[in-house]
Amino acid sequence: MHYGFHYRHRADTVLLRRMIDARELGDIYAATAFSLRRRGIPGWGVFTNKELQGGGALLDIGVHMLDLALHLMGYPKPREVVGHVGQYLGNRPGVGLLGEWDASSLTVEDTARAMVTFENGASLLLDVSYMANIEEKDTMRVKCRGTNAGASLFPLMLHTEKYGALFDEQPAYLTQSDPYERKIQLFLEACREEPSYRQAEEAVILHRIIDHIYA
């Protein structure tokens, strides 16, 4: 099994994961994942049809940052999920930055929020929206807090304390790579040999969290 979560394979994400594996952040005890668009319901396809799509903002854009946060945290086992989904702006006509959608036929959520606690004592906050009254056109971000340092994506920044001072550090240069190409390479490697990751197990955790948010 292989999921197309291309944000995992961005150069800045890979670098942060290396830093986490090297214990730069210590134990990650909190994370926040944002997937927000100001006016971003797609005006094409079946994104507004729950029967065909299965869900709205959470399944379309929220799942990417939720997976990324869990990936950086080491995919801990969830203990409790408190979630909420709703329609607030998408079911009325308005400005469409990704094309015009039929507000009268919208059957999916435009907003989803959740808090997840894990068996290891960590917690995660999730904030997702197709239609949010925010400054940015859209924002996809993950923030992690650890016992040694914190970090945020995107852009990548490390927040730490040393020499009696607080530091915000960013890489001066990072070799870029195509995350979609890397994703395909990993799929081909998994077909030829034993995969180096347990994405099927992670998918079960991810979808259990999503199911509980919708429930």
Helices then strands (H, E): number in the chain? 6, 8
Note the pLDDT tens digit of each residue in 103-153. 888 999 999 999 999 999 999 999 999 999 999 999 999 999 999 999 999
Start-to-end C-alpha separation, the chain: 26
| Contact indicator for 169, 158 with CB cutoff of 8 Å | yes
> Helix, strand or coil for residue 160?
strand
pLDDT at 194 over 70: no
Q: What is the pTM of this model?
A: 0.89
Q: What are phi and psi of 211, to 5 degrees?
A: -60, -40
Q: Determine contact, residues 41/131, Cβ cutoff 8 Å.
A: yes
Question: Which H or E run includes 125?
Answer: strand 123-129
Confidence of residue 197 (pLDDT cuts 50, 70, 90): low
Is the pLDDT reported for residue 180 higher than 80? no
Q: What's the pLDDT tens digit per position in 12-64?
A: 999 999 999 999 999 999 999 999 999 999 988 999 999 999 999 999 999 99
State residue 29 phi and psi, 5-degree precision.
-115, -10
Determine which helix (DSSP H) or strand (DSSP E) holds 51, and give its type and residue range: helix 50-53
Other Cβ atoms within 10 Å of 5 Cβ, number: 21
Query: How far, in whole angstroms, is CA 197 from its chain's centroid?
Result: 18
The letter for the amino acid at 70 is L
